[in-house]
Chain A
Amino acid sequence: MTKQTDKRNRYIKDKHRRVEPFLRHVGDFGCTFGKDCINILSFVGEIFIAFVYAIFHPRKVRWRETFYYMDSCGSDALPIIVIVGFLLGLVLALQGAIQLTQFGAQDLVINLVVLALIKELGPIMIAVVATGRAGSAFAAEIGTMKVTEEVDAMITMGFSPVRFLVIPKILALLIVLPMLTILGDIAGIIGGMFITYFKLGISIPETFYKAIELITFSDYMQGFVKSLVFALLIAGVGCMRGFEASGDAQSVGRSATSAVVSGIFLIAVANAIITILFAI
């Protein structure tokens, strides 16, 4: 009897041993997830308040910093955006030409390039490049400021770090990303024309007018809305990850990586949602 009870007790103990770590992990995950959600919500709330403040007090906006970020995220990114856009259009047209020629539909190559670029690939590719450049830079900059106690200094001076550090970055990217997207789209269409002219022998003016006729206001708006939303996500996530850095240089590196990964993930999700909304 005693042997049996001992065996049973050992079994229960072992079972608890196996279940406890699992429950602890689930609990830890739940707590961390909950904490993250609260942090994100409070950060979004702070951004909203700072934005409203900026609208009613435009003189209080750090315009010098805003122009600085417009320069670093805009004009400095222009060469890579143009190259990426051009190559994207070129490859898209080439692949399209190979497939569509089989069905005698080579005239539709430019349709494929223009619509795919303006509605989907253009905003996404330019946003991914911007995430790699601006998102990680924002996270690293704010992370370093946290490690060197600049953010603490700001708080003890009574300044809102969101108003001083986040709003100029968001404003800059909101202005610059749609412009970059348009330029990237144009470069992509030129890349497409390059193929239609040299591979398919369609004249450049013909392709150009066809492209112009093809773009509707709704197509253009879809790309524009996407680039605005992506700008908000890239700058917001980059800054938020920066504020999460603490202690050492490694945490700054982790923040920058995390800004890129979460940025790209959120861009993909937002892109799907916006596309569905425009399709309805």
Chain B
Amino acid sequence: MIKEPVVKISNLSIGYDQRTVLKELNFSVMEGEIFIIMGGSGCGKSSLLKNIIGLYKPFEGDILINGHSITKAKLKEKKKLMRSFGVTYQDGALFSTLSLGENILLLLDEYTTLSKNEKEEVVMEKLALVGLAEFSHYMPHEISGGMRKRAGLARAMALNPKLLFFDEPSAGLDPISSAELDRLILNLGRHTNATIVIVTHELDSIFAIADNLIVLNKEKKGIVASGKPYDLKKNCKNEWVKRFLDRDGLTRKI
């Protein structure tokens, strides 16, 4: 039986006002896959993500999530579709007036009929999953950037979504925190069989966790390469992609 893609992008063009940023994009993300959208700074990676999750409306084309079009959905349908996935933002985007526990509790209060004790259990379970169980009462400004990102992930996991989106998860983190977060994402994908879409340009993360990736280019305004990370590094014919994946051949001889 052929699997249906979890996310399917067809003939998508996106941009701001009348300026096209990316055009004629076509790709699919399959179930259980860790899929990376990469490209240079300012190529439109985060804008593409915001179009996929329904925050912006594309100029042209369609975005299907689990077979439902988020671009054509009516408001009520769109809200329901949005609840079916979790999103973590660059800086966590935790609600600053709520503690970490309350950030997760908010979703449970709105969308579940669990009892108070059950909700508290879920909150602790999600925070434990990202190693922040003892920080439940901390406010977002009282913890580090890496912890905020992990707390954002815990919140995104609150309703056990089978699809997760990450916007630059390792941006601004030291190598150890970045590796910890990558490990967390990898384990999450393995244990929950969730489909994970990540926007990043961190090469270490890409080679450590990606199953598949697409490479976006600012000048071409589209996808210049796609495939598995090591295959691309070895066999890609596109000179720009090769330079990108080799960090432009920059190594320092001691």
Beta-carbon contacts under 8 Å, B45-91 to A: 50, 53-55, 79-80, 82-83, 85, 87, 89-91
The reply to whether the CB of B96 lies closer than 8 angstroms to some CB of chain A is: yes
Number of interface residues of B (CB under 8 A): 22
Taking CB atoms, residues of chain A closer than 8 Å to B208 are none
B87 touches A156 (CB 8 A): yes
Taking CB atoms, residues of chain A closer than 8 Å to B89 are 149, 152-153
Number of interface residues of A (CB under 8 A): 14
A150 in complex: contacting residue of B79, B83, B96, CB < 8 Å: B96
The reply to whether the CB of A155 lies closer than 8 angstroms to some CB of chain B is: yes
A153 touches B83 (CB 8 A): no
B87 touches A150 (CB 8 A): no
A148 touches B55 (CB 8 A): no
The reply to whether the CB of B114 lies closer than 8 angstroms to some CB of chain A is: no
The reply to whether the CB of A157 lies closer than 8 angstroms to some CB of chain B is: yes
A65 touches B54 (CB 8 A): no
The reply to whether the CB of B241 lies closer than 8 angstroms to some CB of chain A is: no
A104-B11 Cα distance, complex, nearest whole Å: 85
The reply to whether the CB of B95 lies closer than 8 angstroms to some CB of chain A is: yes
If the complex has contacts A149-B89, A149-B90, are A156 and B82 also in contact, measured as CB distance less than 8 A?
yes
Beta-carbon contacts of A125-169 to B below 8 Å, as 1s and 0s? 000000000000000000001001110111111110000000000
B82 touches A158 (CB 8 A): yes
The reply to whether the CB of B173 lies closer than 8 angstroms to some CB of chain A is: no
A152 in complex: contacting residue of B55, B83, B96, CB < 8 Å: B55
The reply to whether the CB of B94 lies closer than 8 angstroms to some CB of chain A is: yes
B107 touches A148 (CB 8 A): no
B79 touches A148 (CB 8 A): no
Taking CB atoms, residues of chain A closer than 8 Å to B87 are 153, 156
Taking CB atoms, residues of chain A closer than 8 Å to B231 are none
B83 in complex: contacting residue of A65, A154, A157, CB < 8 Å: A157
If the complex has contacts A152-B50, A152-B55, are A157 and B82 also in contact, measured as CB distance less than 8 A?
yes
Interface hub of A148, A153, A154 (most chain B Cβ within 10 A)? A153
A157-B152 Cα distance, complex, nearest whole Å: 12
Taking CB atoms, residues of chain A closer than 8 Å to B91 are 148-149
Shortest Cβ distance from residue A48 to the other chain B in the assembled complex, whole angstroms:
16
For A60, the closest partner residue in chain B by CB is B110
For B55, the closest partner residue in chain A by CB is A152
The reply to whether the CB of B112 lies closer than 8 angstroms to some CB of chain A is: no
A33-B29 Cα distance, complex, nearest whole Å: 42
- Listed A/B pairs (25) with beta-carbon separation below 8 Å: A65-B97, A68-B97, A145-B96, A148-B91, A148-B93, A149-B90, A150-B94, A150-B95, A150-B96, A152-B50, A152-B89, A152-B93, A153-B93, A153-B94, A155-B82, A156-B53, A156-B55, A156-B87, A157-B82, A157-B107, A157-B110, A158-B80, A158-B82, A159-B106, A159-B110
Interface residues of B (CB under 8 A from A): 50, 53-55, 79-80, 82-83, 85, 87, 89-91, 93-97, 106-107, 110-111
Interface residues of A (CB under 8 A from B): 65, 68, 145, 148-150, 152-159
